[in-house]
Structure 1
Amino acid sequence: MQAYQNINKGEAYWVTTDLFDTDENDKIIEHWDVISAYVKNSNGDKDQVAGPTEPNDLDKTTENKELVRTFLCDVMVLGQSDVASKYVDFQNIPVHSESTVDEPQKYEGCYEQVFKIIGQGNTVVAYSRVFYQGQEVARFDIFRVQDGKIVEMWVNQEPVPPKEEWVNGGKF
């Protein structure tokens, strides 16, 4: 779930991405989240929370999750930039993110661990540990897949706090 929050009548704006795990009775047993400042983008098309919200192609869930998993493994973990074009056109992909998040190709080889991948239809979500420019971040990537390619991305990330500040085992 990704949500826009307007706190105290505009005192603060946030984008929160949450991932919940439930038991067989649909009770929440685990939760992961990333929270970042919401910044109004002058280009509304690339706003952090703009874009389609309903998944399509429900019959392609498994193959779309596999496409994203392979992309993350080959390109973002192993840094194999020469195969990136099999999965995505970095030059033309709309990326919805906070303005301080660099374009996705700069993160090639920086993903330390892809912790979770979930999906429904053409929407696939990954939660990862990323080391970028000397900093560890927790990162959600939400991918829209169409015709066997990643065609749109939403990114929400936040720095992982020092271990002495962790609660409940930290971000992972």
Structure 2
Amino acid sequence: MTLTNKEKVVQLLKGLETGDTSAYTYINPQKYVQHNLGVANGFDGFKALMSDLPKGSTKVDVKRVFEDGDYVFTHMDYDFFGPKVGFDILKMEDGLIVEHWDNLMEKATSPNASGHTQTDGSTEITDRDRTSENKARAASFVKNVLMEGQFDKISEYITPGTTHYIQHSPFITDGVEGLQAAIEHMAEQGVTMEYKKNHKVLGEGNFALSVSEGEFAGNHVAYYDLLRLEDNKIVEHWGVIETIPPESEWKNNNGKFGF
């Protein structure tokens, strides 16, 4: 039976938990490029990571999986050197994985004040005919609101009211009001949150994943934001912020982004 690209990616990621090496055949060993800066480049780097994992120490729960052209991207609940949530992006070429990016953060110990965890919520992919439109809408939101700080335009993207926008960040409550309150609170505490460059927007149907670079609390970070859209409005958000280590600590020279 021929597996889809989504199925190949899920099987490979589940192999982190099971130790099953059969999915290694879904990686092109001559072309594999690694953007996780804590892992050495290439197929040998991937195999070294697998061998370093203590047996039975890793758990992998794929919450969502999407496909956009040559890219498959997943939303994950991990136990990977400790409980984490994250996103993985894998580029496919002729049915084989040739490149990998990810973004991970520590998993919160409890739901946020609105009762949501970092990975629960909607999973159904709809509106596949609106994929390009929704990706463009997500890119516009990131550019105008998050990068340029035009918060007066936020209601163009998110309908006001706590019932119209579900937030999965551990520290932010539902609604555009919750987002605005969090931004104001961070400003009062002197905590900076800057989106400086948007590197990629991927999507399938009503979901779009934005990959950005910036600063958070004085640290160089990668922002991965998964948005669910309905009728041209953002109605749900999941996010992961990961600090990018100094270049002296990188185990490969490919950079965190490089799309």
Please classify the TM superposition score into its range, dividing by the shorter chain length: 0.7 to 0.9
Counterpart of 2:138 in 1: which secondary structure?
helix
> Is 1:5 equivalent to 2:74 in the alignment?
no
**Which runs of 5 or more structure 2 residues have no equivalent in the other structure?**
1-73, 173-177, 187-191
Counterpart of 2:134 in 1: which secondary structure?
helix
Residue equivalent to 2:119: 49
Q: Kindly name which structure, 1 or 2, has the bigger radius of gyration based on alpha carbons.
A: 2
1:136-147 equivalent positions in 2, closer than 5 A: 136-147=220-231
CA shift for structure 1 position 60 = 1.1
> Is 1:39 equivalent to 2:111 in the alignment?
no
Indicate the structure with greater helix content: 2
Going from structure 1 to structure 2, the CA distance change for 1:109 and 1:90 (only over 3 Å counts) comes to farther
Counterpart of 1:46 in 2: which secondary structure?
coil
Going from structure 1 to structure 2, the CA distance change for 1:83 and 1:99 (only over 3 Å counts) comes to closer
> Is 1:16 equivalent to 2:86 in the alignment?
yes
Aligned residue type for 2:256: K
Residue equivalent to 1:123: 207
Indicate the structure with greater strand content: 1
Checking the alignment, whether the CA contact within 8 Å between 2:193 and 2:216 is kept in structure 1 is no
Counterpart of 2:108 in 1: which secondary structure?
coil
Aligned residue type for 2:75: Q
> Is 1:170 equivalent to 2:255 in the alignment?
yes
Which one of 60, 77, 84 corresponds to residue 147 of structure 2?
A: 77
Checking the alignment, whether the CA contact within 8 Å between 1:14 and 1:38 is kept in structure 2 is yes
CA shift for structure 1 position 75 = 1.1
Aligned residue type for 2:166: P
Separation (CA, whole Å) in 1 of partners of 2:75 and 2:148: 28
Separation (CA, whole Å) in 2 of partners of 1:124 and 1:69: 9
CA shift for structure 1 position 36 = 1.1
How many residues are treated as equivalent by the alignment?
166
Residue equivalent to 1:30: 99
Checking the alignment, whether the CA contact within 8 Å between 1:59 and 1:121 is kept in structure 2 is yes
**Which runs of 5 or more structure 1 residues have no equivalent in the other structure?**
none
Q: Which consecutive segments of 4 or more residues in structure 1 shift more than 4 A?
A: none
Separation (CA, whole Å) in 1 of partners of 2:227 and 2:76: 16
Counterpart of 1:63 in 2: which secondary structure?
helix
Going from structure 1 to structure 2, the CA distance change for 1:30 and 1:110 (only over 3 Å counts) comes to same
1:75-114 equivalent positions in 2, closer than 5 A: 75-89=145-159, 92=162, 93-99=165-171, 104-105=179-180, 106=183, 110-114=194-198
Q: Equivalent pairs: percent with the same residue? A: 33
Which one of 115, 118, 133 corresponds to residue 63 of structure 1?
A: 133
Separation (CA, whole Å) in 2 of partners of 1:55 and 1:32: 22
